[in-house]
Amino acid sequence: MSVVSYKQENFIGIVTIERPEALNALNSQVLDELGSTFASINLETTRVVLLTGSGTKSFVAGADIAEMSTLNSDEGTKFGYKGNEVFRKIETFPLPVIAVINGFALGGGCELAMSCDFRICSENAIFGQPEVGLGITPGFGGTQRLARLIGLGKAKELIYTANNIKANVALDIGLVNYVYPQENLMAEAMKLAGKIAKNAPFAVRACKKAINEGINVDIDRAIIIEQKLFGSCFATEDQKVGMKAFLDKVKGVEYKNK
C-alpha cells in the first residue's frame, strides 16, 4: 500500500504523507516514496508544491523509531544517508516547496519541514528535536538547518534539551511564517501557493536557486550567482511580457513559463 499521495490543483502540487497509524512517521518506504513522488512532478505544469501529512494530528512525528531501534552503527549511517538524500532533493527541488504542518513536527518531521522553502502550520502544531532523549542526534539535517534558520543559541537549546515548542513559539522564533486554525490551514496554503504561482515561474525558480546557493558562499560569489540568474531571465518570453504589461499599464499578466 502506498504511503505518499500526490494530487495537482491547477499549478499547485500537493504531496501528502499517509501513514496516520504511526502519525506519519518516516520509515524507509515513506522516504523512498517521497523521493519518487518529487522525481515524478511535472516541472512544466507545476509551479509550487505543498508538503503535508494526513489527518489533523500530525505532520510527521519523526523517523520511525520501531525501524531504527535495532540498527547498528553502519545501518544507522545508511538510514541517515537515505533521509538526507531525499531531504536535499526537496531543498534543492527546482520549484518552491512549502511545508504545511498540520500537527506534530518532531525529530525527522521538523527536519523534513526545514528542508522546505518555508513553513506554515496549524495552531495545534508542535515542534521539537527529541533525539537526544532517544540516545541519538538529529540525523536528517536538524543540527545544521535549525541553527541556520533560527540561530545557534536557540537551536542548541532546543536540540540539547529536547524540548517541544508550540506553534506560537515557532512563529516567534521564525521557524514558521504563519499559524492558522487547523480548518483553514490548507485553504491558506493554497492561497499562498496561488500567489507564488501567478508570478513568472522562471524568475521564481531562479530566486530559489540564487537564495539557496548564495547563502552558502561569501557575498562576492553570492552576488555573481544572482547576477547570472538575473541575466538569464532576460532570455525568457515571460520577462518581455511582464515588463511590456507594466509599461502598457495592463494588469493580471498570465505567465506562460517560457
Q: Give the residue numbers annotated as catalytic, written as ranges.
A: 111, 131
Please, are residues 103 and 164 in contact by the beta-carbon 8 Å criterion? Answer: no
Q: At residue 8, what is the residue type?
A: Q
For residues 48 and 98, is the Cβ–Cβ distance under 8 A?
Answer: yes
Between residues 55 and 242, which has the closer beta carbon with respect to ligand CO8?
A: 55
> How many residues interact with ligand CO8 (rule CB under 6 A)?
24
x-or-dash string of contact with ligand CO8, 34-63, rule CB under 6 A: ---------------------------xxx
- Name, in order, each residue with C-beta under 8 angstroms of 161's C-beta and a sequence gap of 6 or more: none
- 187 — phi, psi (to 5°)? -65, -40
33 interacts with ligand CO8 by CB under 6 A = no
What is the rounded CA–CA span in Å between residue 38 and residue 146? Answer: 23
| Contact range with ligand CO8 by CB under 6 A, out of 28-36, 103-111, 208-216, 228-236 | 103-111
Alpha-carbon torsion 68, 64, 149, 36, what sign?
positive
Q: Which of residues 137-166 bind ligand CO8 (CB under 6 A)?
A: 138-140
Question: Applying CB under 6 A, does 106 fall inside the site for ligand CO8?
Answer: yes
Q: Residue 227: is it exposed, middle or buried by C-beta count within 10 angstroms (0-12/13-18/19+)?
A: exposed
127 touching ligand CO8, by CB under 6 A: no
Tell which positions 71-100 bind ligand CO8, by CB under 6 A. Answer: 76, 79-80, 83
Binding site for ligand CO8 (CB under 6 A): 22-23, 25, 61-66, 68, 76, 79-80, 83, 104, 106-108, 130-131, 134, 138-140
